[in-house]
Chains A and B, each alone.
Chain A
């Protein structure tokens, strides 16, 4: 870009110089030429006898070196023509040219026709005056213009390059600083003060973006670290169980028991890994689903049916409270994950013969979902932290008997899906009474859709 700026400056300066110089030259030349011609004409008119004086023409300068030939109408040369005082003041210029004589001198040659008011014959005079002065002035002018042009051009070149470089230096510095910022150096920021005023807002926005990036990277790093720690305990359980069994193998029956414990632990590990992958996928930019238009009610009914199946052994049912149809435009997969997760939790942490209420309605163009359960509830000190990854609070491994161990990722996953859909998540709970999770997804309503207000 520096090159472009420099070239642009240079081209415009040089063009100006050239055009200006040319104009100056051309203008000066035509002025000088006009002057020369009128001087020649004046001298031609001042010729003795032609001007009406009998003596030599007074005050005519530079007549030395002038040459003239007088022609009559028939083209014959003549010496002198007697004239009368009313000779033409302004003779017609029939021909004008620069001629180089045999001895090398340059002259300006004008062919002039003098006419008289009476019908006396016109006279043509070819008058040549020295063009030396004219030439020398123009030569001096050209040289001066060229020298000035070259000097100015050179200065312009230096200035252009200098300006281009200095203007772009802070940009280059910024560019190299930005190049240094990668995952390991996310704490660097651009010094907006060192940039020209026009670029400061850009720098400020870049810095804000870096802030967000840094936060995102920190969160990701933390999640990875936590996930690693979470994986260690079940792995240790497997290792220790096997080690202890190997120390004193015991009977085949005991070994079988040990193997069964290990199998169960391995399955839980697999589930944990699946949960982690699901979490990673929900946040991944690559896996981006296209929003589609569908009827949310179909999805809700489907999930409710599955949840009913899960709750069947313990007599837990899902009560559905929504209209017959809720057309929306959203990412199907994400909404499904959200609803299924919430319903699954509601069934899991419910009391036997308890129930789950699934409510959904459209308010303006937002979808409001809520899942209520009659489970044991969540303590208020845990409530603010339930959306953190791996947070299990007091409800940790109380569900040994059930197949699914609570990894603390379910609500975090729901939260990240909801955020990806541009919505928000709220939770309320009372110990021994139950829990409600409310989801609000803005802007998913179908445009120009008339919601069935009264059924």
Chain B
């Protein structure tokens, strides 16, 4: 899952980014409003954390312009202003959530996760595909055969595929959502990790969940595609 953080206070921005990366998210960071707008319009994010007071374009402008351009990415506004009219303004302009500084990091994390789930049409924190249950809160995976242990990267990739369950996801898409802008775009790494996942998720299990669609990508589904 890939996030954009647009916050002009350097150490705050970095600590949020660090915290989220620890949780396995890919994080892009920007300190400037103009850059933030460009990123939102041009990169696929699963969630955007947007500070209201940014140099260049402020948070409201970025919010408005993104929504006008049809960007449906969930956006969480971050601000020191707690007045009612500011929160209402944010929500009316198209923000999905609004968090006032100072905040607890745990709360930020939980809200971000909730936004991402909602963004993918996922209401609860568990994703169920056939007999596989992914608990996104605890980051655990079970199949009827028992708990499955995954590395952070593997989990993140599985979670993304599961959120897009039943849809074909291209390698590029997977890469864009798992890796941030600083990682080398070596597309092979996606195949490698899909291989690891297959071993852990599908070997010795039925039904097989991870399928390849030649020339198009991968799909996580209980029933194999035609």
Contact = CB atoms under 8 A, between A and B. Distances in A.
Interface of A: 228-230, 232-237, 239-241, 243-245, 247-248, 261-262, 264-265, 392-397, 400
Contacts of A394: 55-56
Contacts of B8: 396-397
14 contacts: A233-B80, A236-B103, A237-B12, A240-B16, A240-B19, A240-B103, A241-B14, A247-B19, A247-B22, A264-B11, A265-B11, A392-B55, A397-B8, A397-B10
Nearest to B22: A248
Nearest to A235: B102
Interface of B: 8-12, 14-16, 18-19, 22, 31, 53, 55-56, 80-81, 101-106, 108
Contacts of B81: 229
A244 B102 contact: no
A396 B9 CA distance: 9
B101 A244 contact: no
Given A229-B81, A232-B80, A247-B22, A240 B55 contact: no
A232 B101 contact: yes
A400 B18 CA distance: 19
B103 to A, nearest CB: 7
Contacts of B10: 397, 400
A245 B105 CA distance: 11
Contacts of A232: 80, 101-102
The 9 closest A-B pairs by CB, nearest first: A237-B12, A244-B19, A232-B80, A241-B15, A236-B101, A236-B102, A396-B55, A229-B80, A243-B105
A240 B80 contact: no
Nearest to B17: A244
B10 to A, nearest CB: 6
Contacts of A393: 55
Contacts of B11: 237, 241, 261-262, 264-265
A244 B55 contact: no
A86 to B, nearest CB: 121
B80 A230 contact: yes
A230 B18 CA distance: 23
A229 B103 CA distance: 14
B12 A240 contact: yes
Contacts of A229: 80-81
Contacts of A235: 101-102
Given A229-B80, A244-B18, 13 more contacts: A232-B101, A233-B12, A236-B103, A240-B19, A241-B14, A243-B105, A247-B19, A247-B22, A261-B14, A395-B55, A396-B8, A397-B8, A397-B31
B56 A243 contact: no
Majority DSSP secondary structure for residues of A touching B: helix
A243 B104 contact: yes
Nearest to A397: B8
Given A230-B80, A247-B19, A247-B105, A236 B12 contact: yes
A228 B53 CA distance: 14
A318 to B, nearest CB: 29
Contacts of A236: 9, 12, 80, 101-103
Contacts of A265: 11
Contacts of B12: 233-234, 236-237, 240-241
Contacts of B105: 239-240, 243-244, 247
A38 to B, nearest CB: 101
A397 B55 contact: yes
A397 B10 CA distance: 8
A273 B18 CA distance: 28
A240 B22 contact: no
A244 B15 contact: yes
Nearest to B55: A396
Nearest to A230: B80
Contacts of B103: 236, 240
Contact of B101 (A233, A262, A392, A400): A233
A228 B8 CA distance: 17
A237 B12 CA distance: 4
A243 B19 contact: yes
Contact of B102 (A230, A239, A245, A264): A239
Contacts of B101: 232-233, 235-236
B110 to A, nearest CB: 13
A236 B8 CA distance: 13
Given A243-B19, A244-B18, A247-B22, A237 B9 contact: yes
Nearest to B12: A237
B38 to A, nearest CB: 16
A248 B101 CA distance: 22
A326 to B, nearest CB: 39
Contacts of A243: 15, 19, 104-106
A389 to B, nearest CB: 14
A215 to B, nearest CB: 21
Contacts of A400: 10
Nearest to B81: A229
A248 B105 CA distance: 13
Quick one: which of B8, B103, B105 has the most chain A CB within 10 A? B105
A255 B128 CA distance: 39
B19 A234 contact: no
Nearest to B109: A247
Contact of B22 (A230, A237, A244, A264): A244
Given A233-B9, A239-B102, A265-B11, A244 B16 contact: yes
Contacts of B9: 233-234, 236-237, 397
Q: Pick from A244, A264, A394, A395 the residue with the most CB of B within 10 Å.
A: A244
B9 to A, nearest CB: 5
Nearest to A400: B10
A327 B147 CA distance: 86
Nearest to B7: A233
A53 to B, nearest CB: 120
Contacts of B80: 228-230, 232-233, 236
A396 B53 CA distance: 10
Nearest to A261: B11
B15 to A, nearest CB: 4
